[in-house]
Structure 1
Amino acid sequence: MIPLLEPAIGICRFSFCGKGDWRSSRGATTPDEIDAMRALNAETLYASGRMALRFYLFENFLLPSLRAQSDKNYVCLVLTSDIMPAPYLSRLRTLCGDHPNLELVVSSETSVHAAIWPRLSELNDAAGRPLVNFRIDDDDCLSHDYVNELRRYMMRLGDIIPVGYSRSNGLVITKYAADDAMFVYQAHLPFNSMGTAIRVHDERTIFSFGHNALHKRFPAVVDNSGMGYISIKIDGHDSEPISMAMAHIRNSHVPVDAARAEVILSKWFAFLAEGGEPHYAALVRKIERAAELSQHSSAAVAHAAAKI
């Protein structure tokens, strides 16, 4: 695909085995520590149960949301490591090859910046200016109008550099084994990790900065319109489990019932349902399957880690 206009550039890490912002890599600072961390992560990242879950979430949430974008003028760079086992790499290559807006970047680098910058630099050079780039995780989901909203604001801001962007409203879904239930929340989370973007000069990307503090460093737009994302939180997720027992969650999350969820899903995430299935029913079915896979994933990761 050759974009007709200035494209937005997405960056998605898919089991990238390097030093990122996952908890397992935060303590690695020296070359030896980074090498040891990478070896450890290679065992756990590519455990069969974990990969089954990652591909399920990628194929059932993120990819459908990217295909459904009303504004197709974007490129999403899917970053992974050269040490990914061949069967998984082949599957990922096929998935990206079937999508005209996806490019697979396979790298031996240990930092997201070093791995992604050469390709992003080429895209910037082709455009003649720094392009807007946004981050998205492989288990998240964007609303069908995300790229349209992002480009609508950032294009109108013209040559203002640097400038950040966040679509603050979305749905957060939790399904923890300890809860024995699925909960849906309408969340207000400015500068969360789902779709936060920046246009910035020099050799920098959205991963050069902590997303939570982006608006404290640069001029920024908070887009409170509509719904921008779905964030899925299940067992084995690389973040602290959340609940309404936490004060900061009560301040930013509002429980949503099935009827309200159906309205939100039908308006911004209709692509999640097929063949006339109610949108909420489709969401429940997919989340329950993901939660089931997460139990196998946790067991596989624990087994792989025990062998090291």
Structure 2
Amino acid sequence: MRAQVIVVIRFSYVADAGFKISAQGLGAIRGTLYDPDRLARRFQLFEALTLPSLLAQTDDDFTLAVLIGDDFPSDARARLSRLVAPLRDARLIALPPHNNYKSTKLAMDACLNPDATHVISVRLDDDDALGRDCIAAQKHVAPQVAALGPANSPAVICFNNGLFLELSDQGNRLFGVIEKLPLGIGMGMIAPVGARPTIFSTDHRRVHTRWNCYTEALTPRFIRTVHRDNDSDALVSGEKPKYSDHDLDRILATHFPFTRAELLALKP
């Protein structure tokens, strides 16, 4: 088995469905996603959280596919290209509007290595962060979980332990969560090359109803941001461990390339 990890980030991609405002049409979606103030906030979080977490991976042998619209503003596209350049294998994939499954599948197909036998497709939003060993954990765990099921059957690996970072004009708040439902940040699916299913084939909260799913709840492996631009409701589905400031400092130092002071200082 030669598994290629492909992390897919939809950076303000104009999909033709899936947003709260989708019923208003592509013009409304494009106007919202490409609003200069909103784009500036997305770049702030991408540069402060998402990108550093990718650069800090203990295993840097992965492909990053950044999905953007084919009409993404040219200055923003140039900025994004410069930002991801330090990664070992990062590509901008510009596509016209499709649904999220089709667009992400096309993006992954465009990045496929010719010698790969399997793909581990991984979800990540442009405003969230991965723990340092998330890629390494996917590579270690995914083949073992896949081997437990029928031959060539997809399997899903997700991480339910992490931190929520709420950004607010009244002051940011950082707290721990252990979700009871599968969480999309860093979630991956291992499947043979050419298989139809990917990690974007269904809602991330329901993957365990369609495929074998391994949930790792002991190691903090994500930071999710909660802010004004969230399109989905950022609700905790499980427990909130009562971490002290010392506990949070220890978790961050062990698993993430950030300090608590840096996260609490981010602008909402």
TM-score using structure 2 length? 0.88
Measured in 2, the distance between the counterparts of 1:20 and 1:84 equals 17
Give the number of equivalent residue pairs. Answer: 260
- The residue identity in structure 1 corresponding to 2:53 is S
- The residue identity in structure 2 corresponding to 1:108 is P
Stretches of structure 1 lacking an aligned partner (at least 5 in a row):
29-35, 243-247, 273-278, 292-308
Q: Structure 1 residue aligned with 2:265, among 285, 288, 301?
A: 285
Find the counterpart in structure 2 of residue 238 from structure 1: 231
**2:89 matches 1:70:** no
> Deviation of residue 152 (structure 1)?
0.5
* 8 Å Cα contact 1:46-1:85 kept in structure 2: yes
Deviations 1:46-102, CA, capped at 9 Å, x for gaps: 111101100010111000000000011211111000111111111112222332232
Residue aligned with 2:200, SS: helix
Residue aligned with 1:106, SS: strand
Indicate how the Cα distance of structure 1 residues 219 and 91 shifts in structure 2: closer, same or farther if over 3 A, else same: same
> Deviation of residue 255 (structure 1)?
4.3
* 8 Å Cα contact 2:174-2:264 kept in structure 1: no
> Deviation of residue 124 (structure 1)?
4.9
Measured in 1, the distance between the counterparts of 2:174 and 2:206 equals 26
> Deviation of residue 129 (structure 1)?
2.7
Measured in 2, the distance between the counterparts of 1:149 and 1:59 equals 24
Indicate how the Cα distance of structure 1 residues 116 and 175 shifts in structure 2: closer, same or farther if over 3 A, else same: closer
* 8 Å Cα contact 2:18-2:100 kept in structure 1: no
Measured in 1, the distance between the counterparts of 2:16 and 2:124 equals 17
Measured in 2, the distance between the counterparts of 1:265 and 1:68 equals 13
Alignment of structure 1 residues 129-278 onto 2, 5 Å: 129-156=117-144, 157-158=146-147, 160-177=152-169, 180-189=170-179, 190-200=181-191, 202-240=195-233, 251-269=238-256, 271-272=257-258
Measured in 2, the distance between the counterparts of 1:137 and 1:240 equals 14
* 8 Å Cα contact 2:10-2:66 kept in structure 1: yes
Q: Which deviates more, 105-114 or 214-223?
A: 105-114
* 8 Å Cα contact 2:128-2:223 kept in structure 1: yes
- Greater helix percent: which structure? 1
Residue aligned with 2:65, SS: strand
RMSD: 2.1
Measured in 1, the distance between the counterparts of 2:208 and 2:234 equals 25
Stretches of structure 2 lacking an aligned partner (at least 5 in a row):
none
Sequence identity (%): 22
> Deviation of residue 122 (structure 1)?
5.2
Measured in 2, the distance between the counterparts of 1:9 and 1:109 equals 21
**2:15 matches 1:18:** yes
> Deviation of residue 123 (structure 1)?
4.9
